[in-house]
Structure 1
Amino acid sequence: MSLSIFTCFIAPQHRFLKTILLLALSSIRIVFGQSTANGQASGSVEWPAYGNDAGGMRFSPLKQINTTNVKQLTVAWTFRTGELENYKGTGAAEKAAFEATPVMVDGTLFFSTPTSRVIAIDAATGQKKWDYDPDVYLRQELSEITSRGVSVWPTATDKTASGGTGKRIFIATLDGRLIALDAKTGKPISSFGKEGSVDLRQGVGNISVTSPPAVIGNTIVVGSSMGDNYRFNYERGVVRAYDVLTGALRWSWDPIPRKKGDVGFDTWKGDVATQTGAANAWSIISADAERDLVFIPTTSPSPDYYGGERLGQNLCASSIVALRASTGKIVWHFQTVHHDLWDYDNAAQPLLFMFTQNGKQIPAVAVGTKMGHVFILNRETGKPLLPVEERPVPKSNVPGEETSPTQPFPATLPLLGLQKLEAWGLTPDDKAAAQRKISALRYEGVFTPPSLEGSIITPGNVGGIHWGGMCYDPESGLLITNVNRLAAVIRLLEREKLAASVKNDQELLRAETGMQLGTPYVLKRSYMFSRDERGITMQTPPPWGTLVALNLQKGAMAWEVPLGFMMDPTKHPEAKQWGSLNFGGAIVTSGGLVFVAASLDGHLRAFKTQDGSLQWEVPLPVSAQATPMTYQVDGKQYVVIAAGGHGKLGTKLGDYVVAYRLP
């Protein structure tokens, strides 16, 4: 699914609380010219896809900016999108988030704004070349108002693409359109679909798209985003492929098997199990043109927290599924959560890289999950390259529910995020209140199921590893990711007793509500923090957000450091060691640096890849819940970040794209 769209019984003064609750939430093209004195090419090193390469390593070979000079970075240019004007009179600002990562090809940056506008700017100067507005109607029911980026065709190194029609920019929009634009002019390409657009809602329903589609050969593959927990029989989470030249549908794949003979059909049990919706792919799809494969990160079926209408293992929901890009047929599947009851969507892009095992280079895919589990799989077969074991997990006591008796765990890699629950508070009274809250709820470790009395879920549904995903440094062999550490509180209420249950319970009244129509239960979701005149007080120990590096060869954590801060350091000197909830990912470069923003304190930072030490930080105009990128043009390396604040988090909104370079 996506981040949530719920009926909420939350007063306006609790907007920050409401927004946290709603967050459930390698081929690198190098064009060389003459060498410069520092050894870098005077031509360009591009960033042609969301994750740089189609497999999302988010690694750049650039090293002009490195550990010896990163402190000298200064602002090269700042671009304003004018996006805030679009929100006026619509209420969109409460949901808007500028989460885009630009791409750079041919000396031009291309990116999307939260309302699916596409803008092209000069990569060296930040001057606008063109912009395109698809005119999304913002007063319609939209779960999210964000767009994480655009895609370029033909891709930089994909030799299977052909057509000779010039570069195209693809945007998949909030209102369910796939649009092809001329990269030079920004005009829709009339020969694609109907006057440049394909209607993705036709035959599917009220879906959105918030992530850039995957491009492989002459095919473009797109998933969808939809609201969570409103009803059992939600829209189908189909993944579809279209011809990049004509917009003709090539194939469609539904993660939920609908008829006997479909893969996994026998793992869905119950009279109406095949009417289940979602299991969609709202995150980034990865592509391997050489092997004709796309890697689909699927999500939990609808609704997230009750599965009595869909008993069984529920293949291929909550899975990584490799499809044949030319046909849409399943090649392999690996399920990260059996019978998902925790909103444990696969939110991170599957990361494609070469893994060394027994002296051999093996094509691999790294899967990072909200549970804090990292799985390393053979890219061609889906078989684990590092051991995975099924471990017993707690049973449900909810009438009508049947939990899976086991869940898959990485057997050798560390588990990331909040894996153990403890009470914490700023004062002894705060800690005592947190302990009382824990004692009143069910908690039996990871995969504690939802319950009628209320259950604490660790890690919560915003991670662990969230949509910001991972990056991989092939030079050091380190897999790097930022992590959230926030516990969720999940309570199921009998629908017939809902009014009586919440009548005098202020905490339940404030909690997020998911109606889960078609089931006996209504969802109430909150998190392990309290709110009073002092603001938000976390109830589990810091750090609440970290940056982590894993040494895959050793099966060990190389380092972990706090990422950002949420509380005022002038009042709480320890706050910089407490970390921050974070949304958006990191990139890594040959300069020995990891660049990341994501935290709520509004800084862009650089850490040393080798040991995680902080090398540089700079305040941004507003917070940046996005992933940075880097490129070289005219002999200069740039680091670029989209900074727009976050409506649901209640931070100040903006419309900035900021570029940094050495003097």
Structure 2
Amino acid sequence: MPDGSEWQAPLDVIVESLVADTQNLYREGQSPNPSRFQATPLMVGGVLYFNTPLSQGVAVDAATGETIWVYNPKTYEEGTPSMSGPWTQRGVAYWTDGEGDERIFWGTGAGYLVCVKAATGQPCPDFGPDQKGRIDAMEGVPRAIRENRDYLNAFLYSINSPPIIVRDRVIHGSHVADVRVTKEAVPGWVRAWNVRTGEHEWDFHTVPNSADEFGADTWLNESWRYSGNGNVWSMLAGDNELGYVYLPTGTVTNDYYGADRLGDNLFSESIVAVDIETGQRMWHFQAVHHGLWDWDFPTHPNLIDITVDGREIQALAQVSKQGFTYVFDRVTGDPVWPIEERPVPQYTNLPGEVPSPTQPFPTKPPPFEYQGVSIEDLIDFTPEVRALAEEAVADFTLGPIFTPPLRTVEEETQGVIQRPAIDGGANWGGAGVDPETGILYVPSNNRSSVLHFYSPDPETTGATMTITQAAFGSGRQPAMPQGLPLFKPPYSRMTAIDLNAGEHTWMQPNGDGNRIRNSPMLRDLNLPPVGGDGRGGPLVTKTLLISVLTAGGTNDGPRLVARNKATGEIVASVDLPTGAIGTPMTYMVEERQHIALTIGGGPRLVAFALP
């Protein structure tokens, strides 16, 4: 093909082929948007399976890219998926009984769990209460009322990330609206169903549902009764042999203001190990007490067997938005290295807010991303740019990690500069691990954010909160001229962490960062690579570490790069026709290895065949 790829399957063509059968696909003012094509496909038996941002399931020939089937549940006709991630899907799950029954599962933006036959894409006739291959996953979840919409006219509950199948149970998280003006919200319970019949097996209550449940005492004033979120919006992990599924949860309502939910708020921002047979908690760890920073666990934990000081450990490594890697014995939940509760800043001017006095700090491995902000962290390539950076932050509050948010007070503060930013150091692209060496590879961003607050109007929005967050990026921000960064580099990086030793093996800037290096105030300095070319999810192979960068290709365009796993040095680069969206995956078909990923410009799924 002209772009060097082996084949491509454009999503816009798939969508257009469905429009004729669905007259109201693009509803006025709320058009479905296919651009957030974040799915990583599965390859089984020479077929790639994935889902689209419009919750359609697709199967294509892995060798040619030819479409085999498309199943369109048309759930987009019911309305806009929940905020703040509408029209987002990240993949599907596969199951077989080994005797010819093969199924594909995925969630939809309208909160359904879908099951189809892998061979045909037709609904599984024995799955679900009506034997129509679909379950309404909202049923039975408090305050998840299908007819209800939020003040933005969006669903309150969606399923955006792929389910996981462990021991013939299909388990999924949810996307619960987190742009809130009400303290009442849908709790992000994790749900399990029988993979053959769709019968409900169990729910794990990430927000307690009664006063005698474990964790209810961490919610003062019985605020568990109305609070929600705490959902697993990203991917899950499971150990089929052990019979555990691992839940990386998010922040509870409201992400940045907790006066309506005082206390530590279990199981917010936690890792929870759950018995797959019963749904009972086996162990848990809360990484952020009474979260105020939106530091959800953004991706699945990596399961890896390691050897520490001669001791073999079945381990779990969880990367985080805040730049920590938490490492546990995945059987017992014991930390592999000590995790210390340390005092953190307490001052906040948000009325009624009571931050947690301590937060957990892993002693190993070291953080993989910068944390907190001080004057010494500001860009200093020249005295001139340092002076500009100091001027940019002069009216803002700086502090270490876990500094509580502040409301803007003119001539006092414009708010707290939070680093890592709201979207974190790591995010849903996650980390990759080498099972032979025990090395974890983590892409991350060095960015900051300042959140502003306002009082919503109860008459126009139905608000029951007196204060909530303003739009992300709104209000005054500590901006630099000419697009210069505020901090020292790298602006994105790839870090290799030896999980056997709890130490970093290497760190490399993620890309050259030519947009920054060539800016007028810096271009004569001959700077080394500074990163800033994205934090795309990694693909670890036996010989290479593969990921995507937003720049550095021909005409400084996007590219797919391969690194030496031992040093991080880029050893090969292939241009991408447009910027990548999803994380790459690899497969063998017809004795050729392929690398497939989703990209923009359609968007579409593209595959590269190795010689």
TM-score range, shorter chain: 0.7 to 0.9
Q: Is the 8 A contact 1:268 1:310 kept in 2?
A: yes
1:200 to 137, 141, 144: 137
1:412 Cα deviation after fit: 2.4
What is the distance in 2 between the residues matched to 1:134 and 1:597? 32
| 1:217 and 2:167 aligned | yes
1:152 to 94, 97, 122: 94
What is the distance in 1 between the residues matched to 2:26 and 2:517? 35
Deviations 1:545-603 (A, max 9, x none): 11111122332211111223666489446798232363541011112x11112647532
Q: Is the 8 A contact 2:392 2:480 kept in 1?
A: no
Partner of 1:244 in structure 2?
195
| 1:530 and 2:479 aligned | yes
Between the aligned residues of both structures, percent identity stands at 34
1:323 to 263, 271, 274: 274
1:132 Cα deviation after fit: 1.4
Instruction: Judge which range, 445-454 or 122-131, deviates more.
Output: 122-131
What is the distance in 2 between the residues matched to 1:237 and 1:484? 27
1:237 Cα deviation after fit: 0.7
What is the distance in 2 between the residues matched to 1:516 and 1:478? 49
2:584 to 615, 628, 635: 628
Q: Is the 8 A contact 1:298 1:346 kept in 2?
A: yes
Residues 261 and 273 of structure 1: is their aligned pair in 2 closer, same or farther, counting only changes over 3 Å? Answer: closer
2:252 to 286, 298, 301: 301
What is the distance in 2 between the residues matched to 1:529 and 1:636? 50
TM-score after normalising by structure 2: 0.85
Partner SS state of residue 435, structure 1: helix
Partner SS state of residue 347, structure 1: coil
Instruction: Judge which range, 286-295 or 266-275, deviates more.
Output: 266-275
1:89 Cα deviation after fit: 6.3
Q: Is the 8 A contact 2:513 2:529 kept in 1?
A: no
What is the distance in 2 between the residues matched to 1:569 and 1:540? 12
Q: Is the 8 A contact 1:149 1:211 kept in 2?
A: yes
Partner of 1:438 in structure 2?
393
Q: Is the 8 A contact 1:598 1:627 kept in 2?
A: no
Partner of 1:561 in structure 2?
508
| 1:470 and 2:417 aligned | no
| 1:579 and 2:531 aligned | yes
Residues 382 and 127 of structure 1: is their aligned pair in 2 closer, same or farther, counting only changes over 3 Å? Answer: same
Q: Is the 8 A contact 1:417 1:463 kept in 2?
A: no
| 1:379 and 2:330 aligned | yes
| 1:415 and 2:376 aligned | no
1:489 Cα deviation after fit: 0.6
Residues 252 and 404 of structure 1: is their aligned pair in 2 closer, same or farther, counting only changes over 3 Å? Answer: same
What is the distance in 2 between the residues matched to 1:94 and 1:112? 14
Instruction: Judge which range, 598-607 or 562-571, deviates more.
Output: 562-571
What is the distance in 1 between the residues matched to 2:277 and 2:208? 20
What is the distance in 2 between the residues matched to 1:427 and 1:93? 47
Partner of 1:185 in structure 2?
120
Residues 225 and 547 of structure 1: is their aligned pair in 2 closer, same or farther, counting only changes over 3 Å? Answer: same
TM-score after normalising by structure 1: 0.79
What is the distance in 2 between the residues matched to 1:635 and 1:323? 39
| 1:343 and 2:304 aligned | no
1:429 Cα deviation after fit: 6.6
Deviations 1:71-94 (A, max 9, x none): xx9522222232564786665576
Structure 2: runs of 5+ lacking an equivalent? 20-24, 145-155, 409-414, 552-556
| 1:544 and 2:544 aligned | no
Q: Is the 8 A contact 2:388 2:480 kept in 1?
A: no
Residues 432 and 232 of structure 1: is their aligned pair in 2 closer, same or farther, counting only changes over 3 Å? Answer: farther
2:419 to 454, 458, 464: 458
Deviations 1:397-454 (A, max 9, x none): 2331111111111112111223243333998776544323322122221011111231
Partner SS state of residue 488, structure 1: coil
Deviations 1:502-541 (A, max 9, x none): xxxxxxxxxxxxx894333232343866387x5x443223
Partner SS state of residue 573, structure 2: strand
| 1:112 and 2:51 aligned | yes
Residues 599 and 657 of structure 1: is their aligned pair in 2 closer, same or farther, counting only changes over 3 Å? Answer: same
What is the distance in 1 between the residues matched to 2:590 and 2:206? 45
Q: How does 1:6-155 map to 2 (within 5 A)?
A: 75-81=5-11, 82=13, 85=16, 92=31, 96-137=35-76, 140-142=79-81, 143=83, 144-154=86-96
Partner SS state of residue 179, structure 1: strand
- Matched to 2:467, the amino acid is Y
| 1:489 and 2:444 aligned | no
Residues 132 and 277 of structure 1: is their aligned pair in 2 closer, same or farther, counting only changes over 3 Å? Answer: same
- Matched to 2:137, the amino acid is L
What is the distance in 1 between the residues matched to 2:249 and 2:325? 16
What is the distance in 2 between the residues matched to 1:565 and 1:370? 23
Q: Is the 8 A contact 1:621 1:654 kept in 2?
A: no
What is the distance in 2 between the residues matched to 1:607 and 1:376? 25
Deviations 1:42-97 (A, max 9, x none): xxxxxxxxxxxxxxxxxxxxxxxxxxxxxxx9522222232564786665576831
Q: Is the 8 A contact 1:236 1:277 kept in 2?
A: yes
Q: Quote the RMSD (CA, aligned, Å).
A: 2.7
Residues 305 and 569 of structure 1: is their aligned pair in 2 closer, same or farther, counting only changes over 3 Å? Answer: closer
Instruction: Judge which range, 581-590 or 233-242, deviates more.
Output: 581-590
Partner SS state of residue 278, structure 1: coil
Q: Is the 8 A contact 1:472 1:480 kept in 2?
A: yes
Partner SS state of residue 212, structure 1: coil
| 1:611 and 2:587 aligned | no
Partner of 2:412 in structure 1?
none
1:168 Cα deviation after fit: 0.2
1:638 to 589, 594, 598: 594
Partner SS state of residue 191, structure 2: strand
Q: Is the 8 A contact 1:565 1:575 kept in 2?
A: no
1:268 Cα deviation after fit: 0.8
Residues 543 and 316 of structure 1: is their aligned pair in 2 closer, same or farther, counting only changes over 3 Å? Answer: same
Residues 76 and 495 of structure 1: is their aligned pair in 2 closer, same or farther, counting only changes over 3 Å? Answer: closer
| 1:660 and 2:571 aligned | no
Deviations 1:466-493 (A, max 9, x none): 1111111122221101001111112334
Residues 186 and 412 of structure 1: is their aligned pair in 2 closer, same or farther, counting only changes over 3 Å? Answer: same
What is the distance in 1 between the residues matched to 2:140 and 2:405? 33
- Matched to 1:202, the amino acid is E
What is the distance in 1 between the residues matched to 2:537 and 2:77? 27
Partner SS state of residue 270, structure 1: helix
Partner SS state of residue 356, structure 1: strand
Q: Is the 8 A contact 1:83 1:113 kept in 2?
A: no
What is the distance in 1 between the residues matched to 2:527 and 2:252? 38
Q: Is the 8 A contact 2:255 2:294 kept in 1?
A: yes
What is the distance in 1 between the residues matched to 2:115 and 2:456? 46
What is the distance in 2 between the residues matched to 1:531 and 1:412? 34
- Matched to 2:530, the amino acid is W
- Matched to 1:483, the amino acid is S
Partner SS state of residue 262, structure 1: coil
- Matched to 2:428, the amino acid is W
- Larger relative contact order (Cα-Cα within 8 Å, sequence gap ≥ 6): 1
Q: Is the 8 A contact 1:565 1:599 kept in 2?
A: no
What is the distance in 1 between the residues matched to 2:78 and 2:105? 24
Q: Is the 8 A contact 2:34 2:54 kept in 1?
A: no
- Matched to 1:280, the amino acid is N
